[in-house]
Structure 1
Amino acid sequence: MAKSRVIGLDIGTTHVRATEVEFGRGGPSLGGEATVVNFGEVALPAGAVRECEVAEPQTVGSALRQLWLQAKFSSRDVVIGVGNQRVLVRDLNLPWMPAAQIRSSLPFQVQDMLPVAVDDAVLDFVPTSTFAGEQGNVIRGLLVAATKETVLANIAAVETAGLRPMMVDLDALALARVMARGEARDRVVGIVDIGARSTTIVIIAHGVPRLVRILPTGGDHATDAVASTLGVSFVEADRLKRQLGVGYAAPPEYASAVECVQSVTTVLVEAVRNTMVYYASSNPGAAAELLLLTGGGAQLTGLGQYLSSASRLPVSLGQPLSTITVHGPRLGPAISDRQHSLAVSLGLAFGVAS
């Protein structure tokens, strides 16, 4: 196979990030050869993205132009992602039929399952397995339904920057692709990607995504609570949150800040634990064996230990670059320290090889 390059673009709440990947033999597959050749990120002004959705396309577009100017990516073709509370992901069984027929029939199959009108949604179906039903073969998979408004807002920001969106993907599926490589390919693994304003959970069984849940809690919610309680700036609150961590003793003057961080973190950890319990009860004998943390919020000191204790599962920081070569003139050794943040953009690049 001829080599090809793909750029995955992650539009987050606080940053825009892009990763350029060169694919060799095997293409963008779980076992294919891949090399990260470029990466860049630019901070976003507060409010440009709200609730994980582009609110100011012009502002985000300006940041993207700056990103392309700084990183000097080889193309303006990008794969972009979506992932917030207005994206529905549900189990769905369908009678076996060709992929093209599934896509064309989805609006009729799922119109009663959606919280919005079918005409206001962008639909996709991700097959995960097949089995024999009473009326013939059945395809089991995940229904993905995003509001058109969400998708079009991301596309508008990208096009404002002069970029060309070649594909729109779900952030959770991007995570599944890049984290299901190597040893994780043969295991049942839970991915917990903690962003600024949301957390994405994906359970992958032997390389196949089986469950997706998007939680409305992220790292910045703890920072907001500390800032409000102590009456300090967001920047100072974030610094203090990282200094205190979760589950550690602190001086008495920081007791209220510790309580804020603990309260928000407990909500998140309980939601992750409940997700694992639900999956285990729905899949007897095939529960998750390991949790991998990614995203900026994964760096909170003590979070991994707390989550491991609550879920009774081993927890590790995800290493999306562990099965991928890194080689590019603009990439320094520090990129390995940033891999928790580039997981989504890296996974988006795995969605297609143009």
Structure 2
Amino acid sequence: MAKQQSIGLDIGSTAVRAAEIAFSAGGVGGELRAYREVPLPDGAVRDGEVVDATVVSAALKELFSGSKFSSKEVILGVGNQRVAVRALTLPWAPFDQLRASLPYQVQDLLPMPVDEALLDYYPVEESHENDIRSYDGLLVAAARDTVSANVKCAEQAGLLPVGVDLNAFALLRAMTRGRLAQGNVAIVDIGAHITTVVIASDGDPQFVRALPIGGQAMTDSFARASGVGPNEAERIKCELGMNAVKYPELRDGAEAMNEVATKLVEAIRGTFGYFTSASGGEHLDVVALTGGSAHMPGLGQYLASSSRLNAILGDPLETTTFAKSVGDRTQFEANAVTMTTALGLGYGVGALV
């Protein structure tokens, strides 16, 4: 069977990352053929939106210069609080017609004017009731200017965006190819400024929420309360995490950092509770953590104990094979949780354009 091949491009707050994946339709895993990331200075991307296009475009040029990527065609991700995801049932229609009708059917559901939004619909299942066919699925509405800024930035770097997809769906594609393919699963991606929670049942997305808090807020709170620099605060967060409170000389900063971590965990728990209520009592089987702060000592354990759920470190490489040109799994294990979005974008064909 012929393999599809595409490049996922994740424009994050701390780095730009690209992953080239070859995969077969219906296959469980894919082959990683190229991967690279280039760091971004603080503030170049804020809350999922490009702030300094010149800096980000330069980083994208570096990302693809002299690299092993076979093409400059990329699938971009989008995901922040200016992207709304709503459960929605729509009358059955051929899908092209249904997608074209979205502006007329959903304008009262959006937190933004419909002409300022890019719309897409993800059908989860088709239902029949009283001889009426309908789709149950998720409506996705993204602020047009946010998407346009990311697309233009990529184009300025000489890249050709061939699709734009929701980061939450990319997380799902990367994470539900192995042991998380069955049951009710929550993927929690803790980025620098945004934490994305996506809940799936047997691999199909059921609920998505973007929380306006991430790992950088914890680092900043430690730095402010303790008086240390941002690099030292980040080191302590990564090495000691919530356990830093055990050290008297670190207590002021650690208590401030843990207060932010507690707010994040409470927001995540609230999202789980909303899903259980809205789904008629469905409960989660497992929570998988990804993103830059997934490794933070104590955070996963605290989330597990407070939510009474099994929380594990996500493994987006579980079913991935590796081309000889990129090496083997051991070269990527340390950074696997930050690769998740780029990998998932590489598995998909974005339609939100």
Q: For the superposition of Structure 1 and Structure 2, which TM-score range results when normalised by the shorter chain?
A: over 0.9
**Distance of aligned partners of 1:70 and 1:53 in 2 relative to their CA distance in 1, 3 Å threshold:** same
Secondary structure in 2 matching 1:297: coil
Structure 1 outlier segments of 4+, above 4 Å = none
* Counterpart residue type for residue 334 of structure 1: Q
Structure 1 residue 272: Cα displacement: 1.0
* In structure 2, C-alpha distance between the alignment counterparts of 1:149 and 1:296, rounded to whole Å: 26
| In 2: Cα distance, 1:166 partner to 1:71 partner | 20
CA contact (8 A) 1:20 1:37 kept: yes
What's the counterpart of residue 351 of structure 1? Answer: 348
**Residue aligning to 1:340:** 337
Cα 1:70/1:45, change in 2 over 3 Å: farther
**Alpha carbons of structure 1 residues 307 and 70: separation in structure 2 relative to 1, 3 Å:** farther
Q: Distance in 2 between matches of 1:255 and 1:283?
A: 41
How many residues are paired up? Answer: 349
3-state SS in 2 of match to 1:183: coil
| Aligned partners of 1:226 and 1:261 also within 8 Å | yes
CA distance in 1, matches of 2:340, 2:29: 17
- Picking from 207, 211, 215, the partner of 1:215 is 211
Distance 1:248 1:282 in 2: 37
Q: TM-score, normalised by structure 1?
A: 0.95
Residues 1:71 and 2:67 are matched in the alignment: yes
Structure 2 partner of 1:20: 20
Which of 117, 133, 136 pairs up with 1:137? 133
Distance 1:108 1:59 in 2: 38
3-state SS in 1 of match to 2:297: coil
Aligned to 2:102: 106
TM-fit CA distance, 1:97: 1.2
Please report how far the alpha carbon of residue 70 of structure 1 lies from its aligned counterpart in structure 2 after TM superposition: 5.0
Q: What SS does the corresponding residue of 2:109 show, helix, strand or coil? A: coil
Q: Is the 8 A contact 1:36 1:328 kept in 2?
A: no
Which digits, 9 at most, give the CA deviation of each residue in 1:44-80, with x for residues without a partner? 1121111210111221110011111253311100000
Q: CA RMSD in A?
A: 1.6
Task: Kindly state the Cα deviation for residue 190 of structure 1 after the two structures are TM-superposed.
Answer: 0.4
Aligned to 2:269: 273
Residue pair 2:219, 2:230 contacting (<8 A) in 1 also: yes
The equivalent of 2:9 in structure 1 is: 9
Structure 1 stretch 81-90 or stretch 269-278: which is displaced more? 269-278
Give secondary structure in 2 for the equivalent of 1:185: coil
Question: CA–CA distance in 1 between the matches of 2:5 and 2:100?
Answer: 30
CA–CA separation in structure 2 for the residues paired with 1:84 and 1:285? 27
CA distance in 1, matches of 2:144, 2:227: 39
Question: Which of 319, 323, 347 is 2:319 aligned to?
Answer: 323
Q: Residues of 1 paired with 2:245 and 2:82: CA distance? A: 38
Q: 1:54 aligns with which of 41, 50, 57?
A: 50
**Cα deviation digits, residues 114-136 of structure 1 (max 9, x gap):** 12211111000001112234571
Kindly tell me: are residues 316 and 284 of structure 1, through their superposed partners in 2, closer, same or farther at Cα, counting changes over 3 Å? same
| TM-score (normalizing by structure 2) | 0.95
In the alignment, the residues of structure 2 paired with residue 248 and residue 290 of structure 1 have an alpha-carbon distance, to the nearest angstrom, of 27
Checking the alignment, whether the CA contact within 8 Å between 1:247 and 1:262 is kept in structure 2 is no
Superposed CA deviations along residues 321-340 of structure 1, whole A, max 9, x for unmatched, are 11111224133532122110
Which stretch has the larger CA shift, 314-323 or 124-133? 124-133
- Answer yes or no: is 1:173 the counterpart of 2:163: no
